[in-house]
Amino acid sequence: MLQGGLSPVSGAAVTLYAAGSAYGANATVLATATSDSSGDFTLTYGIPGTPEALYVVALGGSVVADNKVAPANKPKSQAIPAAANSAIGLMGLVGLSNAVPTSFTVNELTTVAAEWALAQFTDATGQIIGAPSSNAIGFGNALAQSQANLADITTGEPAIFWSNNGVTEASCTGDTPPVNCDGLERMNTIANILASCVQSSSSSSAPCTTLFADTAGTTTLQAAHVMATNPVANVATLFTLQSESPPFAPNLGTAPDGWEIALNLDPGSTLDGSNFLAIDAAGNVWVPNFDGNSVTEISPIGTLVGNFAPAAADFNESDNLAIDAVGNVWVGNFSSSSSSVSELLAGCSTSSCTGLNFTPAGANFASPQGVAIDTSGNVWVVNPGNNSVTKLTSGGALVGNFTPEGSNFDLPQFLAIDTAGNVWVTNIIGDSVTELTASGGLGGNFAPAGAAFDDPGGIAIDTAGNFWIPNEVGNTVSELLAGCSTAACTGLNFSPAGANLNESISIAIDSANHVWATNAGGDSVTELTSSGALAGNFAPAGAGFNAPDGLGIDASGNVWMANAGDGGNSVSELIGAARPVLTPKVACLKKAPASAVCLP
């Protein structure tokens, strides 16, 4: 059934597509139909031999309004519709399947679910969806998220995620609604905005005119795509388009900070002192539990895979972690009394998980924190407790513990590995960045005035080889331009108006070279462009931010953050907000040519 709001859409051109083989391109038409006065349509097509990513697009038509006066010889459901509205555009994701369900609903809610979850896989018209085979995992995870967490195409209603998390229309009233009410309310509000145009008489109606002026769209599908990919534009004006009696509830009572949709997750209530996270090749999110002495694995749709603490891993204040190319998870144990590095072997499950613990002689672990993997599978670990960096083989044996003369380590905390295998380490107290060669020698210690380092935290490298570092005390983001050497190193510093950088510790780069930084002191996440300009500062209530710290971007374009504040014990997700990234991080380094961050 095709619906505009809660009413049938008649005379719409309905097309069943198989998704394309490139980002937002090459979709294949499988069947076409026209909706009748009840909003029904029949699709006749050859069923694919193997599951494909199927979706339905409806364009044009008109809403059959129940309050219209029908001729005496026709039932009310056959009421004469308004003139065709060419601005109507609706979408529903069937998902990976051989065939569409025998009965399903396409409306504004399913449209929002599709456009947000698949924002990075959809073209500028909002109509053509596709992904290359190299990102089949990220694409499949995005399809699954749309239906599991946002809207159910079978019913056209909110997905099961909301009710599983105690979110209903009734629960979202009062003084203390569940955190995730905000996500559902945003989704419904956006659907109501689209419905204001869909339910109008034509594309020249006041709601459509305003919608398209603020999104540069020509259909509601295109408008939705622009709202998903540029969520901070014209928010207040778009918010006013909801009717006095909007079809989808609960909805927002006041204009939000943007149209981003966020979820807050604590599956199985297993998270306990979660500061950081890492994402594996399948899109699963791994979170160390500092207080719980364990590591939690969360699926790409936010469900619990398992919480692991095998005795042999000997977790003790498990803090930061990294995932190697074959799926092993390496964890730094911060405890000063038993500093070590643990490994969870690939293939952990709730019934079996093999753990190992390493403290080889000469490793000199001292409250190990930052962890990174190089292309040979070696594990690099920063020791803030004794101002050194340790390198282990992929088997946990010692390669070396490094403090070369001139490194000027001063409370080193985080590190990143560049395409040449050099290791870059931030010094919080020293207000500098140190480069080690792949063999542990000194590449240089850098603190150019233009960088204005002030307690530099995490470090990430973009596709051009530039280094981005948030300053926890300075409330800015610094950039070291590619090509730093001991003779010359150009530094820049950014804090654009509205960025609201506040105790920023962790940082990540998406494949468009946009820079994402968590704000532990501001309970938000900031996005900067590759030139350091503001793209947005996001603090949706649905994220449930509580001193967000650890940060990662997955192959679907979702942004994941660990909430490190007292009682936070959760992970937040911004859906489809960033350009997809191949995970884990070392996977991009192993590509030819190598890159520190890359598109799958």
Contact criterion met (CB below 8 Å) for 551 and 569: no
Given a cut of 70, the residues of the chain with pLDDT beneath it are 66-83
Mutual angle of helices 181-198 and 206-215, in 10-degree steps: 120
Token couple for 204 = 């020249």
Strand order in the sheet with 3-4: 3-4, 7-10, 62-63
Q: How far apart are CA 313 and CA 466, in angstroms?
A: 36
Backbone angles phi, psi at 455, to 5 degrees: 60, 60
Kindly state the tokens that stand for 312: 């042999």
Backbone angles phi, psi at 14, to 5 degrees: -105, 130
Across 297-324, b (16+ Cβ under 10 Å) vs e yields bbbbbbebbbbbbbeebbbbbbbbbbbb
What's the confidence (pLDDT) of residue 351?
86
Provide φ and ψ at 332, rounded to 5°: -85, 130
CA distance 175 to 28: 48
Strand partners, 388: 383
What residues contact 75, with CB distance under 8 A and at least 6 apart? Answer: none
Predicted local confidence at residue 568, as pLDDT = 87
Residues 6+ apart with CB under 8 A from 63: 4, 5, 7, 8, 9, 10, 81, 82, 85, 198, 199
In angstroms, the CA 303 to CA 571 distance is 11
Distance in angstroms (rounded) separating the CA atoms of residues 445 and 404: 11
With vertex at residue 27, the alpha carbon angle to CA 135 and CA 559, rounded to the nearest 5 degrees, is 35
φ/ψ (deg, to 5) at 30: -100, -30
- Distance between CA 477 and CA 467 in Å, rounded? 10
Measured CA to CA, the distance from residue 158 to residue 150 in angstroms comes to 6
pLDDT value at residue 83: 65
* Contact indicator for 417, 374 with CB cutoff of 8 Å: yes
Tens-place pLDDT, residues 215-247: 999 999 999 999 999 999 999 999 999 998 999
**Considering the domain 362-589, what is its CATH architecture?**
6 Propeller (2.120)
Q: How far apart are CA 89 and CA 58, in angstroms?
A: 6
Q: Where, residue-wise, is CATH 2.120.10.30 in the chain?
A: 362-589
Residue with tokens 């290359």: 132
> Based on the number of CB atoms within 10 Å of its own CB, is 592 exposed (0-12), middle (13-18) or buried (19 or more)?
exposed
Residue 212: strand, helix, or coil: helix
> Which residue type is seen at 405?
E
CA distance 89 to 478: 43
Tokens of 107: 């409306």
- The whole-angstrom separation of Cα 233 and Cα 255 is 12
pLDDT given for residue 49 in this prediction:
85
Q: How many helices (H) and strands (E) does the chain have?
A: 8, 37
CA atoms in the 13 A half-sphere facing the CB of 421: 13
Coil vs helix vs strand at 171? coil
Here the tokens at position 412 are: 């080193």
Q: Is the Cβ–Cβ distance between 431 and 454 less than 8 Å?
A: yes
Over residues 47-82, the pLDDT tens digits come to: 888 899 999 999 999 999 764 333 333 333 334 445
pLDDT at 66: 60
Contact 415, 389 (CB under 8 A): yes
The greatest distance separating any two alpha carbons of the chain, rounded to the nearest whole angstrom, comes to 94
3-state secondary structure at position 481: coil
Distance CA 556, CA 378 (A): 28
Q: Look at the chain and count its residues.
A: 600
Whole-Å CA distances, 108 to 185, 208, 302:
14, 14, 24
* Strand 340-344, strand 491-494: pairing: unpaired
User: Rounded to an integer, what distance in angstroms lies between the CA atom of residue 373 and that of residue 376?
Assistant: 8
- Please give the model's pTM, rounded to 2 decimal places: 0.95
DSSP line for 73-130: TS-GGGPPPPSP-TT-EEEEEEEEESS--SS--BSHHHHHHHHHHTGGGB-TTS--BB
- Please, what sign has the CA dihedral across residues 373, 378, 382, 385? positive
Q: What is the pLDDT of residue 67?
A: 41
The DSSP-derived string for 258-320 is -S--EEEE-GGG---SB---EE-TTS-EEEEETTTTEEEEE-TTS-EEEEE--GGG--SSEEE
User: Which amino acid would we find at residue 363?
Assistant: A
Vertex 398, ends 392 and 399: CA angle to 5°? 75
